[in-house]
A and B are shown apart, each in its own frame.
Chain A
Amino acid sequence: MKNYKYLLFIITLVWSCNDDFLERYPESDLNGETFFSSEESMKVYNNSIYHAAGNAFRHRLFLGNYNSAFTSGYRGIFWEDIKSDNMVQNNSRTRYLEQISAGQFETRSTRTLHGWYWFQLYDINYFLENYEKAVAVLPSIRNQYAGEARLFRAAFYFDKVKRYGDVPWFDTTLNVGDTELFGARDSREMVMNNVLADINFAIEHLPARGGVDVGRVDKGVALALKSRICLHEGTFRKYHGIGSDANTWLQAAADAAKTLIDEGDYSLYTSGGTDVAYNNLFKQVDLSGNKESILYRKYVNGINGHRLSGYYRSRQLGLTKDMVDDYLCTDGKPIGLSGVFLGDDNLANELVNRDPRLRQTIVFPDGVPEAADEDWKTTYVDFPVGLRGYGSTSYVTSTGYAPHKIFDKEDQRKGFGKEENDAHIIRFGEVLLNYAEAKAELGTLLQGDLDISINLLRDRVGMPHLNVSPELDPKYASEGLSPIIVEIRRERRIELALEGFRYDDLMRWAKGEYLAKRKLGMRFDAAVAATLPEAEVKVITIDGKVYLDPYQGTIYENRVFDPAKHYYYPIPTDEIALNPALTQNPGW
Chain B
Amino acid sequence: MKFKLKKRGSIYLDRLFKTIMKTFVFLFCTVLLAMSPKKGFSQDADIVIKKVRSVTIKQIFKLINKQTGYKFIYRHDLVKNTPDITLNKGVIKASELLDRSLSSTNFTYMFTENKTVVVTENPEKLGKTELEEARLNVNGTVTDVAGVPLPGVNILVKGTARGTETDFDGNYVIKADKGEVLVFSYIGFKTQNRTVNGDKIDVVLTEDADILNEVILVGYGTQKKVNLTGAISQISAETLEERPIVSLSEGLQGVIPGLNITSQNGAPGSSSNFNIRGIASISGNSAPLILVDGVEMNPDLINDADVKSVTVLKDAAASAIYGSRAAFGVVLIETKSGKKNKKTTVSFTSNTSFKRPTRLPEVVGSSYEQAKLINQALVNAGEGERYTQEFLDRLQAYDTDPINNPEWEVVGEPGNGQFRFYGFTDWAKELIKDNAMTQKYTLSASGGGEKTSFYASVGYLDQGGLFKNANDSYKRLNTSLKLTNQTFSWLQTGLKMGFNSTNLDTPHNYKSDETVFNNLVFSSPLSPVRYPNDGSEYAGRYFTNPVGYQKLAGRDESANNHILLNIDLKADVNEYLSIVTNFTSNMYRYNASRYQKKIPFIDFKYETVFGQSNDDFYQLRNSKRNYYAFNALTQYERTFGKLYTKNMVGYNQELTDNVSFNATRKELINPETPGLSLGTGEEQVADSRYQLGLRGAFFRSNFIYDDKYLLEIVGRYDGTSRFSEKDRFVFSPSFSLAWRISQENFMESLKPVLSELKFRFSYGALANQSIGSNYYAYIPSLGSGTSNRWIFEDERELYISPPNLVSPTLTWETSTTTNYGVDFGLFSNKLTGTFEVYTRETKDMLLPFGNLPQTAGASPPLVNGASLETKGFELSLNWKQRVNNKLNYSIGVNLADSQAEITKYENPNFALYGGSQTASFNQKYYEGYQLGQIWGYETVGVFQTDQEAADAPSQSYIDGSAWVAGDIQYADLNGDGEINIGDSNLENPGDRKIIGNTTPRYTYGITGDISYGGFFMNVFFQGVGKRDYWPTTQAFFPYASQYFQVQKHFVTESWSPENRNAYFGRPLARNDKNREIQSRFIQDASYIRLKNLTIGYNLPQSVLDKLKASKLKIFLSGQNLWEHSNIRQPLDPEINLGNSGTLGYAYQRTYSLGLNITL
A residues in contact (CB < 8 Å) with B: 1-2, 4-6, 8-9, 11-13, 15-17, 21-32, 35, 41, 44-45, 47-48, 50-51, 53-56, 67, 69, 90, 92, 99, 102, 104-112, 116-123, 125-127, 168, 170, 173-178, 181-182, 213-216, 288, 297-300, 302-305, 316, 379, 388, 390-393, 415-418, 536, 553-555, 558, 572-580, 582
Contact = CB atoms under 8 A, between A and B. Distances in A.
Contact of A302 (B681, B793, B960): B681
Contact of B801 (A48, A302, A392, A575): A48
Contact of A90 (B384, B688, B800, B915): B384
Contacts of A12: 25, 28-29, 32, 581, 632, 651
B785 interface: yes
Contacts of B854: 111-112, 116-118, 572, 575
Interface in B779-805: 779-785, 787-803, 805
Contacts of A55: 789
Contact of A416 (B612, B666, B784, B798): B612
B492 to A, nearest CB: 13
Given A26-B776, A45-B799, A99-B960, A16 B651 contact: yes
B860 interface: yes
Given A8-B569, A579-B853, A175 B805 contact: yes
B1012 interface: no
B615 A418 contact: yes
Interface string B1-17: 11111000000000000
Contact of A9 (B29, B115, B912): B29
A572 B983 CA distance: 10
A520 B857 CA distance: 42
A39 to B, nearest CB: 13
A396 to B, nearest CB: 9
A300 B418 contact: no
B604 to A, nearest CB: 9
* Residue from B787, B852, B855 having most chain A Cβ neighbours under 10 A: B855
21 contacts: A5-B36, A22-B719, A24-B775, A26-B775, A30-B784, A44-B800, A48-B787, A90-B383, A102-B960, A106-B957, A106-B960, A109-B913, A170-B855, A175-B3, A299-B791, A300-B794, A303-B796, A393-B384, A555-B959, A579-B853, A580-B909
B984 interface: yes
Please provide the 7 A-B residue pairs with the shortest distance between their CB atoms, ordered closest to farther: A54-B789, A122-B857, A215-B792, A54-B790, A577-B911, A104-B960, A29-B781
Contacts of A35: 782, 800
A51 B793 contact: no
Q: Is the interface of A mostly helix, strand, loop or mixed?
A: loop
Contacts of B795: 300, 303
A47 B799 contact: yes
Contacts of B674: none
B33 interface: yes
Given A25-B779, A177-B3, A391 B853 contact: no
Contact of A415 (B32, B35, B609, B797): B609
A1 B488 contact: yes
Contacts of B681: 302
A575 B853 contact: yes
A579 B855 CA distance: 10
A535 to B, nearest CB: 11
Contacts of B779: 25-26, 29
Contacts of A26: 690, 775-776, 779, 781
Contacts of A41: 800
Contacts of B651: 12, 16
Interface in B692-748: 692-693, 695, 719-721, 725, 728
B169 to A, nearest CB: 46
Interface in B12-43: 22, 25-26, 28-29, 32-33, 35-37
B1088 interface: no
A90 B384 CA distance: 9
Contact of B802 (A2, A123, A214, A391): A123
B858 A2 contact: no
B842 to A, nearest CB: 20
B857 A417 contact: no
Contact of B382 (A22, A32, A536, A554): A554
B776 A29 contact: yes
Contacts of B37: 2
Given A24-B691, A47-B797, A391 B614 contact: no
A104 B962 CA distance: 11
B334 to A, nearest CB: 25
Interface string B367-396: 000000000000000111111101100000
A214 B793 contact: yes
B1100 interface: no
Contact of A21 (B693, B792, B861, B983): B693
A582 B853 CA distance: 11
Contact of B789 (A67, A125, A390): A67
* Residue from A104, A168, A302, A582 having most chain B Cβ neighbours under 10 A: A302
Contact of B721 (A23, A27, A582): A23
B605 interface: yes
B789 A51 contact: yes
A181 B853 contact: yes
Contacts of B4: 176-177
B720 to A, nearest CB: 7
Contacts of A176: 3-5, 805, 807, 849, 852, 860-861, 863
B721 A22 contact: yes
B614 A122 contact: no
A579 to B, nearest CB: 5
B682 interface: yes
B615 A417 contact: yes
A118 B800 contact: no
Contacts of A168: 855
* Residue from A6, A48, A182 having most chain B Cβ neighbours under 10 A: A48
Nearest to B605: A379
A83 to B, nearest CB: 15
Contacts of B612: 416
B583 interface: yes
B883 interface: no
Nearest to A304: B788
Nearest to B958: A106
A125 B907 CA distance: 26
* Residue from B37, B782, B794, B851 having most chain A Cβ neighbours under 10 A: B782
A22 B799 contact: no
B1070 interface: yes
Nearest to A41: B800
A305 B200 CA distance: 89
Contacts of A15: 630, 653
A172 to B, nearest CB: 10
A416 B720 contact: no
Given A54-B789, A105-B960, A417-B614, A22 B388 contact: no
Contacts of A178: 2
Nearest to B28: A12
A29 B782 contact: yes
Given A45-B800, A117-B854, A177-B3, A92 B1070 contact: yes
B391 A390 contact: yes
A556 to B, nearest CB: 8
B934 interface: no
B793 A215 contact: yes
A161 to B, nearest CB: 14
Contacts of B548: none
Nearest to A185: B855
A316 B386 CA distance: 13
Contacts of B688: 28
Interface in B638-655: 651, 653, 655
A302 B961 contact: no
Contacts of A56: 789
B954 to A, nearest CB: 11
Nearest to B779: A26
